A = this chain, B = another copy of it.
Amino acid sequence: MKKSLGAKTMSMPEPVFLIATYDENGTPDIMNAAWVGQVSPKHISMSLSNHTTTRNLDLNKEFTVSFATKDYVIAADWVGIVSLDKDPDKIKKSGFTFTKSETVNAPVINELPVALECRLVAAQEEFGETRYVGEVVNVLADESVLNEKGGIDSGKAQFIGFDPAGLCYRVFGEVAASAFGSGKALDK
């Protein structure tokens, strides 16, 4: 029996994008965004209100997106709840460190295993947010999360997602006993 809960929008799970950018002085910032997603074979979108990050995106038009992992959930939450404008020690307190991307003018978070290197291709006002659309020009992955074929093993990486109903982060872990295409078993 289903009950009506009202108009409580949620996407389940929500990916946790850690968007890393430089300001005009090369000072790095990170923000945690959950209203995000893939929109084409080459593009991602992120719906954001005004942040240090959005000023940096407007300025540099390049950024990286790292996916948060179980081991860094506290730091990932922290960079999403505090602004660099209000706490200049935000990044130091997070414990995250950076290497400058070789592909785009943006920092890559050292501690997280996978980063998308992106160029901004559009920014549109939509429903009171700004929707930033990025083209992914390269994916960086740490050797520690690669499988024998050189692809990313999410079981090793232990990515997390945001649970908007429970207001917590959950591990994207156990394989649900099914590969893409396994539904063909029903074709009889």
Within 8 A of B (CB), among A155-188: 155, 157, 159-188
Please report the total number of A residues contacting B with Cβ < 8 Å.
102
A67 contacts the other chain (CB 8 A): yes
Q: Given A11-B37, A139-B5, A171–B169 Cβ distance below 8 Å?
A: no
Q: Given A173-B170, A178-B169, A78–B184 Cβ distance below 8 Å?
A: yes
CB pair B37 A5 closer than 8 Å: no
Query: Lowest 5 A-B CB distances belong to which pairs?
Result: A78-B183, A37-B37, A77-B183, A40-B127, A152-B165
A interface residue numbers (CB < 8 A to B): 1-15, 17, 34-45, 47, 67, 70, 73-82, 87, 93-95, 103, 108, 113-116, 126-129, 131, 136-143, 146, 150-155, 157, 159-188
